[in-house]
Amino acid sequence: MKAVFSDSFYPVYTSDPAAAAGRMETISAAFPSGTQIVQAEAATQKQIALAHTDAHIRGVQNRGLYDIAALAAGGAVQAARTGLSEPAFAAIRPPGHHASSDSSWGFCYFNNMAVALLALRSEGLIDTALILDFDLHYGDGNVNILGNRSWVHISNPDEGSRIRYLEAVDKTLADHPVSIIGISAGFDNHREDWGGLMETEDYRTIGARVRRAALDNGGGCFAILEGGYNHSVLGQNVAALMEGMSAEP
């Protein structure tokens, strides 16, 4: 499986949990054996403008965060494009699912998922898309930018038990055969993170079920990093998702 990554994601760029020292190290150290690293490349301003207003882009520039945010968005585009032919994971930061077209919060600046899907759609590479956002927090930015587009369906499961959560994921996958499935992969709903719900094995299960659905649809799948803040379990949770997505169905 391919992982889009860059050493440029290691440095601390601001004082929030998503930018904390050591966070990306625990992820890269846990990549499954055989992972092929693809060097992340920055999104172009034209690609970013597919999802964001000029004023918002200037605001990120004025905060001195444009370069790292553009690199994350570009990594998401690369993962989505790779995902058309094989599963891919974008180990990127800053996260993006709280970034709306003209505003952002929650440690996000550019909406990586929206930039990726809109870039592929503008190139004629996809007709339809499903976003499965399993982050603890509702992906309001994904909905703000993509929620009114008929070719995108967005699912943010919020069931209070693991069994019902996985059942909701299964139903979403079954109900929405699409060209590509993008996972907004936030691991902060793990039982040892902020949400306290999911087991590590659940991420492996979700990854495998997304891959199976993509194959059944004749489409692709990819995932991009969102939340996840307990460094002692984050790497193993990312690895579990990647192993599920890359396993033979």
Active site residues: 98
Mark out the alpha helices in 129-227 (DSSP H runs).
140-146, 162-175, 200-217
Question: Are the C-beta atoms of 188 and 136 separated by less than 8 Å?
Answer: yes
- Locate 238 and state its tokens: 């990312």
How many other CB atoms sit within 10 Å of the CB of residue 192?
15
Greatest Cα pair distance in the chain: 47
DSSP 3-state of 43:
coil
Q: How far apart are CA 194 and CA 126, in angstroms?
A: 35
| Closest to 166 (Cα-Cα) out of 198, 129, 135 | 198
The per-residue b/e assignment along 105-130, b for 16 or more CB within 10 angstroms, e otherwise, is ebbbbbbbbbbbbbbbbeeeebebbb
In a 13 Å sphere around the CA of 111, the CA atoms on its Cβ side amount to: 31
Q: Name residue 184's beta-bridge partners.
A: 133, 224
